[in-house]
């Protein structure tokens, strides 16, 4: 997979989709390298709605993976990036997932009330029709 991604000079939606859905299988060095490549392509994804969504979800997957690996520095970098570029209300699900990840980050920092914050964001998704996703998040919270 890495050979394929390296052979493509300009990533399109397909390459972003591949990376975004398979990144949990990359080692830390590859994850950091490809993540930085995407960070450097801001002009690419600001113009078209579908590209924005793919890139935002890829960053959310990166954050999730770094949090699971307890690499707070890398997770924080992508949390900050998404906060800097801003996630519009057109991406409601993604905006709530970012808030969920921010709360997960706080849990790993041992901040009081962070688990409750995670539950609140999971419940918000459930309240707005994302019941399957909310259930998965509640199950994840129980394992923390």
Domain-located, residue 81: no
Domain-located, residue 124: yes
Q: What is the pLDDT along the chain (144 residues), one digit of tens a residue?
A: 889 988 988 888 888 889 999 999 999 999 999 998 888 766 556 666 777 888 899 999 999 999 999 999 999 999 999 999 899 999 999 999 999 999 999 999 999 999 999 999 999 999 999 999 999 999 999 999
The verdict on 101 and 63 lying in the same domain is: no
The verdict on 92 and 122 lying in the same domain is: yes
The verdict on 29 and 67 lying in the same domain is: yes
At 1 the pLDDT is 86
Instruction: Point out the domain boundary residue: 22, 47, 71.
Output: 71
pTM reported for the whole predicted model: 0.84
pLDDT tens-digit map of 3-21: 998 898 888 888 888 999 9
The verdict on 93 and 57 lying in the same domain is: no
pLDDT tens-digit map of 46-61: 666 777 888 899 999 9
At 75 the pLDDT is 98
The verdict on 66 and 98 lying in the same domain is: no
The boundaries of the domain holding residue 49 are 1-71
Is the Cβ–Cβ distance between 5 and 19 less than 8 Å?
Answer: yes
The verdict on 41 and 7 lying in the same domain is: yes
């Amino acid at each position: 997979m890495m050979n394929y991604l390296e052979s493509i000079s300009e990533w399109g939606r397909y390459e972003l989709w591949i990376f975004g859905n398979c990144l949990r299988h990359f080692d830390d060095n590859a994850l950091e390298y490809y993540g930085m490549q995407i960070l450097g392509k801001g002009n690419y994804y600001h113009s078209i709605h579908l590209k924005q969504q793919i890139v935002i979800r890829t960053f959310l997957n990166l954050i999730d993976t770094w949090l699971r690996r307890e690499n707070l520095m890398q997770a924080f970098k992508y949390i900050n990036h998404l906060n800097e570029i801003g996630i519009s209300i057109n991406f409601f699900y993604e905006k709530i997932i970012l808030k969920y990840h921010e709360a997960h980050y706080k849990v790993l920092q041992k901040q009081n009330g962070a688990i409750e914050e995670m539950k609140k964001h999971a419940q918000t998704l459930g309240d707005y029709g994302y019941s399957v996703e909310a259930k998965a998040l509640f199950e994840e919270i129980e394992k923390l």
